[in-house]
Amino acid sequence: MEWAVFVPTAALALAGGVGVIAARQPVHSALALLMVLASLAVSYLLLAAQFIAVLQVIIYAGAIVVLFLFVIMLLHARSGEGPREKLPRQRAEAYVFAALYLGVLLAAALGAAAPLASIAAEFGTAQQVGESLFTTYLLPFELASVILLVGIVAATVLGRRPPEHAGRGKG
Amino acid sequence: MVPAPAYLALSAVLFTLGAVGVLVRRNALIIFMAVELMLNSVNLAFVTFARQHGSIDGQVAVFFVLVVAAVEVVVGLALIVDIFRSRETVDIDDVDLLRG
């Protein structure tokens, strides 16, 4: 029964992954990324992680992909890749090493064959994740808010237009 | 029941696809999306191991990865926009001022 959901989901995720790195237009890459994110949200549901699945849709699909699309539209002019290759052998070597790396990863993944633990019905709910976040992981949780603040400040500073009278000396 | 290695294999393939994207593409935006792909494949591995061991800690780790990924995207895209404003390009081969 679960296979009937998992196999199409995995196929969509793989197709989207290929689409991200193979698309000519950055917009197509962003839409392929959206497909991967949605497929992974479905597999999180299969893995009894309902809270994480909702977070995935809200944060990744809702916020991050939209941010990517905004920037792609902002930079639309001349955001393609030129024909020039500074490192002509890099492409072939990248495929070889990626294939070797995939072999190592798959060997490790298939070696991790342990039976799934039996879990309670409330495993992965927002309540259970929240209890863990506010007890065991309270300090990292608070530090996460500091990281988010750093992100806000950094984006504001970097996105600010330089004052007109000062010129563009820093470039 | 789908066994855990099936999810882990999917995660491994997605991670490799992301790594290939980072190595092969030169558009900074697409490289960024490939990095997001790698982060997501690691999230899938975290959730799979959380399910396999019946422990919620893996899902909490995914929460923190989500936070860091959001901040990383915001700062990285701001940097790309800033580079585009001053150099009129998002091709990483054109941004080589530090080249020796």
Domains observed in chain B: 4-87 (1.10.287.3510)
Interface predicted TM-score (ipTM) of this complex, two decimals: 0.92
Distance CA A59, CA A73 (A): 20
Contact assessment for residue A36 and residue A2, using Cβ atoms and an 8 Å cutoff:
no
Please tell me if residue A29 touches chain B, with a CB cutoff of 8 Å.
Answer: yes
User: Do A62 and A134 fall within a single domain?
Assistant: no
pLDDT tens-place string over residues A8-19 = 999 999 999 999
A8-17, A145-154, A158-167: least confidently modelled range:
A158-167
Which 90-119 residues of chain A touch chain B by CB within 8 A?
Answer: 90-91, 94-95, 97-98, 101-102, 105-106, 108-110, 112-114, 116-119
Strand, coil or helix: what is B91? strand
- A124-161 core/surface letters (b: 16 or more CB in 10 A; e: else): bbeebbeebbeeebeeebeebeeeeeebeebbeebeee
Q: Do A36 and B29 touch (CB under 8 A)?
A: no
Q: How confident is the model over B52-83, as pLDDT tens digits?
A: 988 899 999 999 999 999 999 999 999 998 88
Residue numbers of the domain that contains A44:
1-77
What mean pLDDT is predicted for residues B37-50?
94
In a domain, A70, yes or no: yes
For the whole model, what pTM was predicted? Answer: 0.90
Domain end call among A52, A77, A102: A77
Q: Which chain A residues are closer than 8 Å to B71 by Cβ?
A: 147-148, 150-151
Domain boundary among A77, A108, A139: A77
**Domain assignment of residue A45, yes or no:** yes
CATH number at residue A25: 1.20.120.1200
In a domain, A30, yes or no: yes
The total domain count for chain A is 2
